[in-house]
Structure 1
């Protein structure tokens, strides 16, 4: 079995939760391979790469589950809709076309060349993704409007999330008949993730 862990904005393949997940599986679920791709590139490439990783697992007759945090939760939802793979979400972003607009009003960082002319860089992530205005256009064109396989999703949302409105995410997934664990307190980074792992893995394995 494979778990593809999708990190969030300003993170990398070595994200805290991704590493903790791998250590937990190494100790308690030796038969599970945790794949932690670095996804600091344009959203179209991220989506294509994730779908390819899921397809590779299916072609190998291997069970695969996607787990995504924050912006990674948005991508995980899209991938689940596209591939029907089981999915676990952690404080997921549901409207990046809106939440990432916060970078537009900041000072423009740079201008880069692309296939159809120049593009404007509005934010540089710590992992190296130069987010551009065209990236925001991609998010706008790929709004998360429905969940195709709600029975295959499990969502953990912290009511103390200080970055994303937890009510927005909870309302969306509950309206789609997805099981949501809405937990009091906490924060966006889900700093109690290690303590949550037994519960999360129980749900993940039931989905798989």
Structure 2
């Protein structure tokens, strides 16, 4: 089996959850290969890369995505497109709105009709080096999550104490679409107790892959 860990914003291939997952699988599930790509690129590049990777890996063995935060958004898109299974951790469902915290209404209005300027105007640069532009926000707006194509292949693990994203909004969206939602009391956006939940995470991964 393959697992592709899809990190979130301000993270990279060496994210703590990705490393913990890889170490856990190496010790307890040596037959599972964990892929941890660096996805600090424009959203269209991320989507294209993940779609191609999942398509290739799925030809060799069962493949499951584990997506955290913005990675949960991308994992949902890729699942809709390829039919692969995905486990989502505090998934972002409206990045076109939540990422606007790095901009202001004036900057968005100034580039309303200038696509080239929108690609050049950087709103924020992540720790991994992705320079988020207004063009990226427009891409997210054009690729909003409105439905789930394969709800039986998705599960969302959501912390009610998420301080960054609206946990109830994410839970409502995936529940209404028929995906499995597991709410955990308290906690935080980064899933600081992720190591403690790895047995449960792998149980869910195997269920999704079956």
TM-score range, shorter chain: over 0.9
Unaligned runs of 5+ in 1: 109-115
TM-score by length of 2: 0.93
Structure 1 partner of 2:19: 19
Match of residue 66 from structure 2? 67
Q: Which has the higher strand share?
A: 1
Deviations 1:59-118 (A, max 9, x none): 33x11000100000000000000000010000000000000011112998xxxxxxx633
Between stretches 145-154 and 116-125, larger displacement belongs to 116-125
Supply the distance in 1 between the matched residues of 2:65 and 2:131 (Cα, whole angstroms).
25
Number of matched pairs: 200
Equivalent pair of 1:68/1:75 in contact (CA under 8 Å): yes
- Name the SS of the counterpart of 2:72 in structure 1: helix
**In 1: Cα distance, 2:91 partner to 2:142 partner:** 18
- Could you report, residue by residue, the CA deviation over 1:126-150 in whole angstroms, capped at 9, with x for unpaired residues? 0000000000000000000011000
2:116 matched to 1:149? no
Say whether residues 1:55 and 2:61 are aligned partners.
no
Q: Deviations over 1:2-24 (max 9, x none)?
A: 10000000000000000000000
Partner in structure 1 of residue 101 of structure 2: 102
TM-score by length of 1: 0.94
- Shift in Å at residue 200 of structure 1? 1.1
Q: Tell me the residue number matched to 1:46.
A: 46
- Is 1:85 matched with 2:88? no
Relative to total residues, which structure has the larger helix share, 1 or 2? 2
Partner of 2:36: 36
Distance in 2, matches of 1:106 and 1:141, equals 18
For 1:79 and 1:25, the matched residues in 2 are separated by 23
Equivalent runs, 1:2-13 vs 2, <5 Å: 2-13=2-13
